[in-house]
């Protein structure tokens, strides 16, 4: 019988793969941004490039949280902080992309739709600025005015962070921990974190945003250890994926409501019509989320051998 694998081996394989994914997605983002800045007709329109880039960084951050248990935390802290910075710095451009998708999905009167389209066109200058900022960040690294990390270290270009992470994975001596033991511990912690935030009301927008983040961590952790933990991790991963989708839709609507509420240059009648449509969409979305919140609150009441499907 084979000995259980060590956790650091699983973590290293996953992180090396995510470095490759993030590099490939970054190249796609740069191509799209270059086309947007040049306003090239027929240029790259890779709508998922920025999304895929940010997902790779989010997965990396989740796994780095687990990696604290087997490698020296201080050596990973700077890398984790740099990855967080790049994820946050690309957030505004992604938020704009999602805002446009959310507004496009609304059923609006023709005259209101025309007003919204004109308003979005006037925002194109802001969008081009965001493309320029993202291009500079991913090509040249953070600006000099970028904040330092809590330990006083400067934030390095992302490629240098990736090199440093690879060096840590391949060169540092890890603590030897069973993959199964570590997997059970971190998955239990992630699930309990979900339960804590699932106790909040669906009308609490900040809490639902935090719950969405916890579900991402649960999903990525469960997927990381699914091969070693079997049915329990697989059920958690499927449940988290579905809840992440529902909560993502809710978050997108909440973000659009805040943005439209503060919008200038949109006449009062059109703004009122759009906000009414968004609030109606939120009610519909919240009605989908609420039953699953009830189920999520009892997530930890299930035994390890319970084969009953989790809520979908």
**CATH label of the domain that carries residue 128:** 1.40.20.10
pLDDT of residue 60: 97
pLDDT at res. 45: 60
Are 19 and 143 members of one domain?
yes
d(CA 9, CA 15): 10
> What string of pLDDT tens digits covers the 312 residues of the chain?
354 589 999 999 999 999 999 999 999 999 988 877 766 555 556 678 999 999 999 999 999 999 999 998 888 999 999 999 999 999 998 999 999 999 999 999 999 999 999 999 998 888 888 889 999 999 999 998 888 888 788 999 999 999 999 999 999 899 999 999 999 999 999 999 999 999 999 999 999 999 999 999 999 999 999 999 999 899 999 999 999 999 999 999 999 999 999 998 899 999 999 999 999 999 999 999 999 898 888 887 654 444 444 443
44: tokens are 């790259």
Last residue of a domain, one of 176, 209, 226: 176
CA distance 289 to 297: 13
Give the phi and the psi of residue 46 in degrees, each rounded to 5.
-75, 95
Tokens of 63: 């796994």
Structure tokens at 200: 């909040």
User: Do 113 and 96 share a structural domain?
Assistant: yes
Query: Do 10 and 120 fall within a single domain?
Result: yes
Looking at the fold, whether 211 and 100 belong to one and the same domain comes out as no
Determine the Cα–Cα distance for residues 224 and 183; give it in Å rounded to an integer: 8
What is the domain range of residue 22?
A: 1-176
pLDDT at 298: 83
Same domain, 183 and 168: no
Calpha distance 88→158 (Å, rounded): 13
Non-local CB neighbours of 228 within 8 Å, separated by 6+ positions: 4, 5, 10, 179, 180, 183
Q: Which of 176, 210, 238 is the last residue of a domain?
A: 176
Output the pLDDT for position 48: 86
Residues 240 and 230 in one domain: yes
Rounded alpha-carbon distances, angstroms, from residue 198 to 247, 250, 253, 288: 11, 14, 19, 14
pTM, entire model: 0.88
One domain for residues 146 and 219: no
Claim to verify: residue 168 and residue 183 sit in the same structural domain:
no
Cα 202–203–208 angle (5° rounding)?
55
- Neighbour count for residue 312 (Cβ, 10 Å): 11
Say how many C-beta atoms besides its own lie within 10 A of residue 205's C-beta: 16
Q: What is the CA radius of gyration of the chain?
A: 21
What does the pLDDT read at residue 265?
85
Q: How many domains does the chain have?
A: 2
Same domain, 124 and 190: no
How far, CA to CA in Å, does 146 sit from each of 54, 134, 157, 215? 19, 14, 11, 30
Residue that terminates a domain, selected from 176, 194, 228: 176
- Same-domain check for residues 63 and 184: no
């Amino acid at each position: 019988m084979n000995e259980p694998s060590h956790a650091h081996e699983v973590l290293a394989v996953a992180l090396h793969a995510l470095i490759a994914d993030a590099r490939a997605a970054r190249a796609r983002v740069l191509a799209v941004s270059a086309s947007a800045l040049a306003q090239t007709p027929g240029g790259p329109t890779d709508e998922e490039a920025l999304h895929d880039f940010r997902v790779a960084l989010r997965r990396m951050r989740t796994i780095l949280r687990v990696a604290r248990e087997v490698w020296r935390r201080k050596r990973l802290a700077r890398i984790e902080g740099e990855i967080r910075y790049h994820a946050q710095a690309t957030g505004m451009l992604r938020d704009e992309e999602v805002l446009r998708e959310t507004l496009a999905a609304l059923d609006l009167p023709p005259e209101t739709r025309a007003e919204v389209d004109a308003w979005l066109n006037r925002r194109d200058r802001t969008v081009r600025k965001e493309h320029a900022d993202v291009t500079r960040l991913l090509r040249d690294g953070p600006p000099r005015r970028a904040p330092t990390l809590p330990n006083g270290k400067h934030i390095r270009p992302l490629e240098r962070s990736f090199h440093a992470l690879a060096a840590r994975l391949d060169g540092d001596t890890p603590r030897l921990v069973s993959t199964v033991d570590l997997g059970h511990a971190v998955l239990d912690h992630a699930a309990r974190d979900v339960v804590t935030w699932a106790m909040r009301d669906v009308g609490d927008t900040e809490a639902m945003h935090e719950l969405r983040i916890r579900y991402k961590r649960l999903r990525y952790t469960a997927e990381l250890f699914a091969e070693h933990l079997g049915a329990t991790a697989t059920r958690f991963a499927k449940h988290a994926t579905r809840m992440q989708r529902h909560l993502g839709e809710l978050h997108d609507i909440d973000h659009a409501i805040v943005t439209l509420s503060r919008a200038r240059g949109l006449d009062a009648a059109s703004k009122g019509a759009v906000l009414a449509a968004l609030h109606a969409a939120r009610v519909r979305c919240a009605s989908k989320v609420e039953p699953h919140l009830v189920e999520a609150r009892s997530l930890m009441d299930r035994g390890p051998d319970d084969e009953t499907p989790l809520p979908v």
